[in-house]
């Protein structure tokens, strides 16, 4: 028997770590979204969170194309997704495409950190969504050139990811064995000793 949305959501919560924000521990990336719209108020809040992310020279190089289900923007973003992602993302009430400028506005010089800053802003977005009881799933699987053409995105902007946003749906609604299996699998992360270092290949002593 497939687990319910409530059971899966509990399963996906990271182990409690004292002092770590609950929104961080509760954030995960489902593929099943409920047939429920995101309110304009909550949609504004997730972008407000992204707006306050740090960026090089406070450039704020990110731009977000946001489409609500049924809108032309949504249809354009959806049309660029690979087939596998179209199979589940069609249930998400909001699709978002993030892009970032590769030049600084104050002098026109190259900004090598625009994509990094877009990622930081998108992380704020996903955590704010988690705090509001919303779910997000970021996708690399889309046709960047098709997206650039569909929206007339200038060449001096680099494309990031497409983000599906909405409320958690039932895993069984995915109707695809592989997707359901991924949906109900426990989350895993590498230990800190593998990713936090004092020298290359040497774990940092944090305690």
Ramachandran quadrant class, 61 (left: phi over 0; alpha: psi -120 to 50; beta: rest): alpha
Show the tokens assigned to 36: 């429920």
Does the domain made of 5-203 have the CATH classification 3.40.109.10? yes
Summary count for the chain: helices (H), strands (E): 9, 6
Q: Is the pTM of this model over 0.85?
A: yes
* CA gap 131, 46 in Å, rounded: 10
All structural domains of the chain with their residue ranges = 5-203
Whether residue 103 contacts residue 113, with contact meaning beta carbons closer than 8 Å, is answered with: no
Q: Is 80 exceeded by the pLDDT of residue 1?
A: no
Largest pairwise CA distance in the chain: 59
pLDDT tens by residue, 51-99: 999 999 999 999 999 999 999 999 999 999 999 999 999 999 999 999 9
* CA gap 190, 177 in Å, rounded: 26
pLDDT tens by residue, 113-126: 999 999 999 999 99
Question: Which helix H or strand E contains 44, and what residues bound it?
Answer: helix 40-51
How far lies 131's CA from each of 25, 62, 66, 92, in Å? 10, 22, 20, 18
Question: With bands split at pLDDT 50, 70 and 90, how would you rate the model's confidence at 2?
Answer: confident
């Amino acid at each position: 028997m497939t687990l319910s949305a409530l059971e899966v959501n509990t399963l996906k919560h990271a182990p409690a770590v004292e002092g770590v924000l609950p929104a961080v521990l509760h954030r995960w990336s489902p593929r099943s979204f409920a047939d429920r719209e995101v309110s304009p108020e909550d949609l504004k809040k997730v972008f407000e969170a992204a707006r306050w992310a740090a960026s090089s020279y406070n450039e704020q190089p990110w731009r977000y194309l946001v489409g609500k289900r049924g809108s032309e923007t949504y249809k354009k973003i959806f049309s660029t997704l690979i087939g596998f992602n179209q199979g589940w993302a069609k249930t998400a009430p909001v699709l978002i495409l993030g892009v970032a400028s590769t030049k600084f506005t104050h002098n026109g010089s190259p900004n090598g950190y625009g994509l990094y800053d877009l990622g930081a802003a998108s992380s704020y977005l996903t955590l704010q969504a988690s705090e509001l009881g919303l779910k997000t799933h970021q996708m690399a699987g889309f046709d960047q050139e098709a997206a650039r053409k569909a929206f007339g995105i200038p060449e001096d902007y680099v494309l990031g990811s497409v983000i599906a946003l909405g409320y958690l749906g039932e895993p069984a609604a995915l109707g695809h064995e592989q997707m359901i299996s991924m949906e109900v699998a426990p989350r895993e992360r590498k230990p800190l000793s593998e990713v936090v270092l004092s020298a290359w290949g040497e774990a940092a002593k944090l305690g």
